[in-house]
Amino acid sequence: MKEKLVVAVLGLQMGRRHLFAAKEYGAEIGAICDIDTQKLAKYKEEYQLSDEQCYTDWKEVLKRDDINVVVIATPDQLHREEVEACLAAGKHVLCEKPLALTREDICAIVKAANASDKKCMVGQVSRFHTAFVKLKELVDSGIIGDIYYMETEYAHDYATILKPWDPACEHDMDKKISMWRSDPQRHGVVGGGCHAVDLLRWFCGDPTEVMAYGTHKMLPQVSYDDTTVAILNFPNGIIGKVFVSTGCKRPYTRMTSIYGTKGTLVCDSTKGEIKVYTVGEDGVRVNETPEIVTVEVKDHNAVAEFVKFAQHIENDEVVEMDADLGARTVEVCLSIVRSSEIGKPVSPNYQFT
Ligand SMILES: NC(=O)c1ccc[n+]([C@@H]2O[C@H](COP(=O)([O-])OP(=O)(O)OC[C@H]3O[C@@H](n4cnc5c(N)ncnc54)[C@H](O)[C@@H]3O)[C@@H](O)[C@H]2O)c1
């Protein structure tokens, strides 16, 4: 018999999408948790929950035996402790990206996930973005031949959402969490850029070496670079490039191009449009007018993500987007940051245990 899913969601900003997704899937909402009592009240009413189902302390949620699934959508700095505790309490876990912010924390999470018989999935949601799913289908169909170059980006202006970082917060977790996006450990390449890096990894594999340059002209409130460009060297003769800007003066965009031996795909994910360039009858010259493939845009496709997670639990499947996958993406991001700091290429270390 299928395991009945009783879900708790920790953190209700991004978590509101997971709440919706779990309900949409038909799971039972067992509990919600947020330190912001106004948010708690809002979603208590929206999902018609009782006082006993609403928590400000996530550790109390784990004491509930009826809850078997926890979705973690709290600030990145909390992910490690929460994932470890959830798994130790016998809950299946869907943890928002990035898995964590430091090498020490990703290694600890991978170890905890390996030691547990519960499912642990990371929410690298680009793999459910409708335009990127279509891109993957096109590449896998062979229409552009073998990939030799891919470029993508994460360009998202954080100017209005970042609070000036106060170094005095470093050792005070509560204060740190109140300004968690400005924490120097939450470099833009790891925090948001992990979406673009994960997309590259999905199509091209694990880079063996990265070389990056950063600059810092846009976000005076943080100490880390607001803009980074990295070149990634993949096996099988593939080169990648990623552009991450958390201070750019343009609307959110994730333009992505994939170059193959028989054609090229140019994707504007925010419009849901893919231009498909292929070679003509002579097998050499490219057709100048591309075929246009369009899809309905679903950027934060939490519903599809939850469906996959639920199926893994219900069918007792191996988790595709497991802790190791999340750790690899963070490791590449950390290598990019390190390379930009030392001005030399860096080889990611994919050994986490
Ligand atoms: N997949 C995506 O595209 C995507 C988009 C945005 C954010 N995220 C990730 O989701 C997570 C949350 O991001 P966000 O944008 O919702 O951040 P946010 O700061 O807007 O909201 C975080 C929520 O968590 C609550 N919170 C903070 N500390 C808590 C604690 N100890 N216990 C319970 N609740 C607590 C806050 O009150 C707030 O409601 C982060 O890991 C972030 O990287 C993912």
Rounded distance from Cα 166 to ligand 1 centre (Å): 20
Residue found under tokens 């993508």: 152
Q: What is the pTM of this model?
A: 0.97
Q: What is the mean pLDDT of the chain?
A: 97
For 121-133, the pLDDT digits (tens) are 999 999 999 999 9
d(CA 62, CA 83): 11
What residue ranges line ligand 1, CB within 6 angstroms?
Answer: 10-14, 33-36, 39, 58, 73-76, 78, 96-97, 123, 125, 177, 191, 300
The number of the ligand 1 atom at minimal distance from the alpha carbon of 195 is 3
For the chain, domain boundaries:
6-126+302-321, 127-298+330-342
Q: What is the pLDDT of residue 68?
A: 98
For 261-310, the pLDDT digits (tens) are 999 999 999 999 999 999 998 989 999 999 999 999 988 899 999 999 99
For 24-66, the pLDDT digits (tens) are 999 999 999 999 999 999 999 999 999 999 999 999 999 999 9
Q: Which of 14, 126, 306 to mutate to test the pocket of ligand 1 (most atoms within 8 A of CB)?
A: 14
Q: Does position 82 have pLDDT exceeding 90, yes or no?
A: yes
For 213-231, the pLDDT digits (tens) are 999 999 999 999 999 999 9
User: What average pLDDT does range 308-337 have in this prediction?
Assistant: 98
d(CA 149, CA 297): 25
Q: Does position 84 have pLDDT exceeding 70, yes or no?
A: yes
d(CA 113, CA 322): 8
Picking from 38, 73, 66, the residue whose alpha carbon sits closest to that of residue 54 is 38
For 143-173, the pLDDT digits (tens) are 999 999 999 999 999 999 998 999 888 888 8
Superfamily of chain region 6-126+302-321: NAD(P)-binding Rossmann-like Domain (3.40.50.720)
The number of the ligand 1 atom at minimal distance from the alpha carbon of 79 is 41
In single-letter form, the type of residue at position 104 comes to: E
Q: What is the pLDDT of residue 3?
A: 78
User: What average pLDDT does range 93-108 have in this prediction?
Assistant: 98
Picking from 326, 323, 331, the residue whose alpha carbon sits closest to that of residue 348 is 331
The number of the ligand 1 atom at minimal distance from the alpha carbon of 13 is 16
Picking from 141, 252, 246, 131, the residue whose alpha carbon sits closest to that of residue 199 is 131
Nearest-CA residue for atom 34 of ligand 1? 34
Q: What is the pLDDT of residue 1?
A: 66
More confident residue, 238 or 170: 238
Backbone angles phi, psi at 279, to 5 degrees: -80, 150
| CATH no. of 127-298+330-342 | 3.30.360.10
For 326-345, the pLDDT digits (tens) are 999 999 999 999 999 999 99
